[in-house]
Structure 1
Amino acid sequence: MLLKDFRFTMPYKVRIADINYGGHVSNAAVLSFFQDGRIGYLAQLGDFSEMDIGGCGIILPEAHTRYRAEMFLNDELVIGVRVESMKNSSFSMAYRIERDGVVTAEGTTALVAFDYQQRRPCRLPDAFRKAVVVHDGLDDDRPGERR
């Protein structure tokens, strides 16, 4: 998975709040980087947010992170985000963070369409599903496959 494989990327400059006692980016900050990227991805996709992907929000039940290299204060990073697969009520996203072409972290999140008023999962809205298919070239008939 290369950064060029991501149709959405965004710059990020490491802040003092991202640094832990070890002098490098903290574990929690990397998950925040993923969230910042996800928010940017949803906004680029259309009129979507974590609280509204076309009639419902999303909730994150699982996240995986692989740390490849330390990141430090003022590092200029690039965060790549894409949808990897979609099911009836859930989807997975992949993330890649680079500094000067070197991978510093990558990971995935599982996300579930969630009706916050009813407090339960729901189906992915058609508008969101269609926007992902168009944006990421994901084949909606075969989860995980790209056109």
Structure 2
Amino acid sequence: MARIKIDMPDHYTFTTELPVRISDINYGGHLGNDAVLSMIHEARIRFLNYYHYTELDVEGAGIIMTDSAIVYRAEGFHGDMIQLDVTVGDFNKYGCDIYYVLSNKKTAAEIAHAKTGIVFFDYEERKVIPVPEGFKASMEKDA
């Protein structure tokens, strides 16, 4: 099976930090893959909140995650503080990608690269809708 490669952006528009909790540790004694997905979800919520959005209200539209990819680069351990750098890119008519770099705050070692694809969604009509222009303009301004 071919390895996944994520072409990561050079610039990130938002940074937050999360601790590795004991519940984030797997049987191998390090940060579990399910915990990484939860961490990027938390980072996405914080990123949206920074811009005064929620997953249900981005300029009046909701979002749905269409895919995710994670490439692991190093281990994380209980008690580590993880820095998550976030940005948006690769816009199309209905969505975009959100990129994440997870690094050990103390050592600066990159733990993972991740990407989630999102589309914008009208929850009342139950259909995909175009990217809100205000969101796209705000993201491109900060890029």
Q: In the alignment, does 2:101 pair up with 1:101?
A: no
Q: In the alignment, does 2:40 pair up with 1:34?
A: yes
Q: How many pairs are equivalent?
A: 134
Q: Please, what TM-score do these two structures have when normalized by structure 1? A: 0.85
1:87 corresponds in structure 2 to 92
Cα distance between partner residues in 2 of 1:90 and 1:34: 18
Cα distance between partner residues in 1 of 2:141 and 2:47: 13
Q: CA deviation at 1:87?
A: 1.3
Structure 2 residue ranges without an equivalent (≥5): 1-7
What are the Cα deviations for residues 74-109 of structure 1, in whole angstroms up to 9, with x where unaligned? Answer: 101100110022111110111100012110001111
118, 125, 130: which one aligns with 1:123: 130
RMSD, aligned CA: 1.5
Q: CA deviation at 1:7?
A: 2.2
Letter in 2 for 1:19: I
1:12 corresponds in structure 2 to 18
Cα distance between partner residues in 2 of 1:53 and 1:31: 22
Q: Please, what TM-score do these two structures have when normalized by structure 2? A: 0.87
Cα distance between partner residues in 2 of 1:102 and 1:21: 22
2:4 corresponds in structure 1 to none
